[in-house]
Structure 1
Amino acid sequence: RNLKTRNSVRDARLFVAEGVTVVERVLRSSLQVHSVLVSDRKFATCEPFLPPGVCVLRMRSELADELVGFSFHCGVMACAVRPENPDFEKWIPAKGRSLIVAADRVVDPENAGALIRIAAAFGADGLIFGKGSADPFSRRVLRVSMGNVLFLPIVETHDLPASLAELHRDRSFEICGTVLEGNTISLDTYRFSERTVLVFGNEYDGVSDEVQRILSQRLTIPMLNGTDSLNVAVSAGIFCHQYRVQMKEFHDAGHH
């Protein structure tokens, strides 16, 4: 009840997804689904993908508004069990090409969701969300990511510098941070390592000093007309695309 109290949902190891597309993806995933709430007007749309054995609550929209604590305009929600934090060895290839995206205090849910969607689009093996970042399983992040959070391993860590140091030390990753000032290398001249972590920082003050101390490389995007920074999601798209171009994977796959 009353999903405005988000922390109680998170503490119970549950998450809530909303909207037809994301809910359908939740139901088709391997995650354990607790229940589905659907309004009368959306029931016919959702009925084909409602699995047997899952508790489905069907009610009028105005009653659903009362139940969840906000306007239920999306028409369908699912409550599911959050996946366990995956161990690195379960999803990171032991050798060869691997791209990981890391969020260092990316607080805006829109940016966090876009980061997940971009990571999926450019074939990242997974993501790491540092302490202080938006909850990758919040309703808005799920919606913006189009449910891609369900299909990519996402590690939530309380100590991002330690996690990055482990990837560099034990798994041969170059840790590349996107920074604006200081001693940086321009993205257009940098040659990516096959095994790369791309770290994207906070919307206001960038990559933290603690994380910067772990970086193997400090990269920046060359820009014109006095522009000194881009939205974190735009930057992520540019960096991830450049990594893939250098790995020649688009060409190998027959894409242009």
Structure 2
Amino acid sequence: MPRTLRITTRNATFQQWQALLDNRTKRHRAGEFLVQGVRPISLAVEHGWEIRALLTVDGPALSRWARELVETAGAPRAVLSAELMRELGGKDEESPELLAVVGLPADDLARIPVRPDLLVVVFDRPTTPGNVGTLVRSADAFGAAGVIVTGHAADPYDPRAVRASTGSLFALPVVRVPSHREVLEWTGGLGVPVQIVGTDERGPVDIAEHDLTGPTVLAVGNETHGLSAAWRDACDRMVRIPITGAASSLNAASAATVALYEAARQRRSR
């Protein structure tokens, strides 16, 4: 792509970018996804993600933030009409002034930093992109080293997941693997004992009664069916989050947030 490209029609290049919004297969085949918003784009640049292109709206002068980003990111720039930017931004009334085409990182568990207080969250077969993004945001907020998404799952790079993460996707390693096997092989090779703790509303132990201060993998199940049988077998302990009221259970991302908070609370106390 030339350093600056002007696009006024829905040409092949525009259609490629448009496909990144709702076509998972094309997203991963191209190895890139679209990002919008000041905080997410700023964090992507700050944490060294590959910025393949910056798309700006044709019209009023760019804000200071956008101008500085265009100057410092060193990525090719495309100028699009307001109408086309509106389509890519998913907004009916206003056009985002800047969008970023960002390269996908490798799904490599080695991206997760290993430290003595290791805390990692596994999300098993999530079906809702928003829940994936929310869990990533909570994991970032409560000090987890990474998030692992296993099985046939919603895409962490779906625009809804990226939006729900509010930028945490770029600050925290998120790795997709086919099953529990890859996670067990990874933890087994770390050289330190790592406990795997699963969450379930019928778990025999309240989460506050279980020690989460050591190296821990927290496993959270699918929104409808919970953890798979294979993950249940892999867990060293199943814990429950006690709830009251008319609610029969917590949303998966909410349950993960509570579990992460409890782990952080125990670690601060210790």
TM-score (norm 1): 0.86
C-alpha displacement of 1:148: 1.2
Unaligned runs of 5+ in 1: none
Name the residue aligned to 1:15. Answer: 33
Name the residue aligned to 2:44. Answer: 26
**Secondary structure, in 3 states, of the residue corresponding to 1:24?**
helix
Distance in 2 between the 1:227 and 1:242 partners? Answer: 20
Question: Contact conserved, 2:132 with 2:161, CA < 8 A, in 1?
Answer: yes
C-alpha displacement of 1:86: 2.9
| 1:163-182 pair list within 5 angstroms | 163-171=182-190, 172-181=193-202
| 1:130-145 pair list within 5 angstroms | 130-145=150-165
1:242 lines up with 2:242 in the alignment: no
TM-score (norm 2): 0.82
Identity %: 24
**Secondary structure, in 3 states, of the residue corresponding to 1:43?**
coil
| 1:61-210 pair list within 5 angstroms | 61-65=82-86, 68=88, 70-71=90-91, 73=94, 75=96, 76-88=98-110, 91-93=113-115, 96-159=116-179, 161-171=180-190, 172-181=193-202, 184-210=204-230
Distance in 2 between the 1:5 and 1:167 partners? Answer: 30
Letter of the 2:220 partner, please give it: F
Distance in 2 between the 1:245 and 1:123 partners? Answer: 11
Distance in 2 between the 1:109 and 1:89 partners? Answer: 22
C-alpha displacement of 1:111: 0.8
Deviation readout 1:165-185 (Å, 9 max, x if unpaired): 22553331111111123x521
Question: Contact conserved, 1:164 with 1:175, CA < 8 A, in 2?
Answer: no
Name the residue aligned to 1:36. Answer: 54
**Secondary structure, in 3 states, of the residue corresponding to 2:234?**
coil
Name the residue aligned to 1:225. Answer: 245
Distance in 1 between the 2:61 and 2:168 partners? Answer: 23
How many correspondences in the alignment?
245
Question: Contact conserved, 2:36 with 2:89, CA < 8 A, in 1?
Answer: no
